[in-house]
A and B are shown apart, each in its own frame.
Chain A
Amino acid sequence: MEHKYYKQLDETIYTKKLENGLTVCVLPRKEMAKTFGIFTTKYGSIDQHFVPINQQEAVKVPDGVAHFLEHKLFEKEDRDVFHDFSKQGASANAFTSFTKTAYLFSATSNIDENIKTLLDFVQEPYFSDESVEKEKGIIAQEINMYDDQPDWRAFFGTIKNMFEKHPVHIDIAGTVDSINKITKEDLYTCYESFYHPSNMVLFIAGNIEPENILELVQNNQKGKTFEPPQPIERFYPEEPKAVANKKTILNMPVSIPKAFVGIKEADIPKNGEEFIKREWLLDLALDFLFSKSGVIYEEMYEKNLIDQSFSYESYLEENFGFTIISSNTKNPLEFTEVLNNHLVNLDKLSIDENTFKRIKQKKIGQFIRSLNSLELIANQYSHYQMMDLDFFESLATLESLTFDEYKQFIRSWVSEEQLTQLIVEKEA
């Protein structure tokens, strides 16, 4: 098993790629009481058009299959996997994002058993027509719950505004209509293709011995047979640089209106180092503009255009990226106008080097602080691993950023066509 020591962070990661293609990473942290394990497949809501394993023709599956699969893997013919974890003193969970589905547990005892359970339940699916039908009711409830949440609706509405063709515009859970079309066969098709070990990463962090963990995983995998590893051909439509809709209004029963501004990313770097650089530049730019010490935040706050709900977040993936800035606001029109005005005039903004240095320091401190969380490390490390990148080394990329790169990025980041807005108004 290879290991790598990161001196500045005082962390060591052990890694091995098994014969069947599975990547195993282990981070020992002896002081912690708990161990956290996460088993991730590079398969999310956007992967719905692909050539299934051992087939020639591409297929398209209904919206929401990845999330549906996530639910169904917990249910076996005779039992619910949550129970297995409970019996072993662990708590388990799972999530589906645009690009990944992950299964996770944390426990302070029975670690070996829990790791085996994690591997086995994900690698031994059981789907029946009957259980697929039953699940539709549960997922429909989940979708309805999200539909009642104005922030969630607005978040997805803003994404839909930005992306005309790219499947990131699909609700992760699908719609009540689309999930009703899902069949047992759809689940197996997606499962066989995307849950192949070569498309997955297992990350275990916490109070553990790396060599023991590796042996356990190896033995577990030896008992299972898989097709030989093969690349999965996936299709994503060509997405124009400009947003699909400039503006939408959503009517919902809210007590304060909400305003959302979306920035669609363009020209995402293909090269790994450049990709990480872009992520940091986005992060720094957003901080410079919108954090509580940012140049725009104060103005918006003084003008009473935002409150504590003001927030911003970015997603950058290999084939799409966007930023959403939002707030509850009494004056959504002015909110979007002020923001738009700033964003299209970033090339005229005065940008100084001291500010850049301070923001960089802040980000370094934040990075170090974030490593308190085993969950965060395991999540992030797996995320980067799937793009052949190294999460811990991204700190060095941050430290090496120059003022010129930063200035240039901010000045050329946004053009008018990349902007959209969505307003949630009080229902009359």
Chain B
Amino acid sequence: MKLANEKVIEKNGYKLHLIHTKKFKTVHVNLKFKAPLDRSTVTKRALLPYVLQQGTNNYSSARDLRLALDSLYGAVLQIDASKKGNSHLLNFRLELANSKFIEGNQQLLQAGLALLAEVIYNPKVENNQFSDKVVNREKQTLLDKMDAIKDEKMSYANLRLIDEMCKDEAFSIHAHGYEEDLDEIDGKLLFETLQSLLKDDQLDVYVVGDIEGLDIEKKIGEYLKREKTSPLEIEFAEVKPRKMQEIKEEQKIQQAKLHLGFRTFVSFGDTNYAALQVFNGLFGGFPSSKLFLNVREKHSLAYYAASRIESHVGLLFVFSGIAPEQYDRAKTIILEQVEDMKKGEFTEKELDQTKEMIINQIKETMDNPQGIIELHYQQVIADTEKSPSALLEDINSVSYDDIVSVANQLHLDTIYVLTSEGGSGNGA
């Protein structure tokens, strides 16, 4: 079945992706700028979203900019930096109520695009540099963000696991940058960063909503001016399996976080990617999966126990929250589940149910505007053509043997535990 109709138009310096649907009462515009993850640029790029929201030449403060958005019936503008696989992304998201639900306001889209273009092309600068005062204030904001991650124990444990596991790989570079790299950044350097992003990044523009007949291509073209680009490409070395490492860290907490990192050697676009997805569904992706059932339900060992795949870099993570003294037992039971998967200890019926749940999940994602965009954008990240509809077909055709074979490719790389002081015995 066809999940969505994506029309891709090659423009000068960017690709325009149009997805028309009557599911929503809103119109969504995403500008996605993509560059290779690189320690020398990541902190500057991570700082940009904050600084860009502090005002433009026509709306000279953050508040003025927000007031302008408010008067467009509460248009939402979000700018953030993130990573997908080995790429660093700056995503500009504009969300508007569809004018047809608002009497007498047919110009919302036009006005919204104009404002978005203003933020990107006409930021508040003097003599080709951002104000150092603004930059310094936003450095603080970014720094706070880095600190906040440390307080959220689950995300901290995940970050630390990746730090240790992928030390020598681009993927370990933090999407939010590094404290020690903030010092050298000033208004001039940051403006240069913006210029090179506008010039060199790969740009994809997505528009989703009830957009037929709105002449989006022309409207976008009026505001987006770009020369043809030749985006930077970096070849990443293949990672070889190595001896498993165990890492233990202590903090004043009650519940320990036991996280495990595996290498799958399968990425989005690979022929066995769907098999890996189904594997993950059986193993730890759902409340009916082995991890949840055995670690949490059968042995009451954890409040959460789940797994997730990192689609573009061939990784699989297991997350669990456990009582510190249960470390050895929880680890043993988690690893038993992996062994069971390798031995093919699941039924055809469970396999079919898991497929149906994954298909359900993909279809539900397509009921969400941002979900539609992210699912389609996977193809850009992986530089391959694999529409959401094609993903569904792949899932459907996964066999029992495909999954056992993917399971046997799995290699445990790192066990990381964040535990209470003096907790988890001497397990690590």
Contact = CB atoms under 8 A, between A and B. Distances in A.
Contact of A372 (B26, B145, B147, B152): B26
Interface string A356-379: 001101111110110111100000
Contacts of A107: 360
A362 B73 contact: yes
B251 A89 contact: no
A91 interface: yes
A90 interface: yes
A307 B145 contact: yes
Contacts of A362: 70-71, 73-74
Contacts of B72: 365
Contact of B363 (A31, A34, A142, A298): A34
For chain A, the bracket of interface size reads 35 or more
Interface string B126-150: 0000000000010011001101101
Contacts of B63: 292-293, 297-298
Interface residues of B, number: 66
A82 B137 CA distance: 48
B61 interface: yes
Nearest to B101: A368
A365 B67 contact: no
B246 to A, nearest CB: 22
B364 interface: yes
B253 A83 contact: no
Interface in A72-108: 80, 82-83, 86-87, 89-92, 106-108
B287 to A, nearest CB: 5
A304 B140 contact: yes
A361 B70 contact: yes
A427 interface: yes
Contacts of B353: 86-87, 89
Contacts of A87: 353
Main secondary structure of the interface of B (DSSP, over half): mixed
B230 to A, nearest CB: 35
A83 B354 CA distance: 11
A55 B141 CA distance: 58
B226 interface: no
A141 interface: yes
Given A91-B361, A148-B255, A372-B26, A293 B70 contact: yes
A404 to B, nearest CB: 21
A189 interface: no
Given A358-B71, A364-B73, A309 B148 contact: yes
B357 A309 contact: no
Q: Which of B69, B288, B360 has the most CB of A within 10 A?
A: B360
B102 A369 contact: no
A36 B106 CA distance: 32
A427 B76 CA distance: 38
Given A108-B359, A298-B61, A308 B71 contact: no
Given A256-B144, A298-B62, A109 B356 contact: yes
A321 interface: no
B363 A82 contact: no
Which of B254, B293, B359 has the largest number of chain A CB atoms within 10 A? B254
Given A292-B62, A307-B144, A86 B363 contact: no
10 contacts: A87-B353, A106-B364, A145-B321, A328-B147, A364-B73, A368-B25, A368-B97, A368-B98, A369-B25, A369-B95
Given A253-B252, A328-B148, 14 more contacts: A80-B297, A90-B360, A106-B360, A138-B296, A138-B303, A148-B253, A253-B253, A255-B147, A256-B151, A308-B148, A358-B70, A362-B73, A364-B97, A368-B98
Interface of A: 8-10, 29, 31-34, 80, 82-83, 86-87, 89-92, 106-109, 134, 137-138, 141-142, 144-145, 147-150, 253-256, 291-293, 297-298, 301-302, 304, 307-309, 328, 358-359, 361-366, 368-369, 371-374, 427
Interface of B: 3, 21-26, 61-63, 66-67, 69-76, 95-98, 101-102, 137, 140-141, 144-145, 147-148, 150-153, 251-255, 286-288, 293, 296-297, 300, 302-304, 321, 323, 353, 356-357, 359-361, 363-364, 366-369
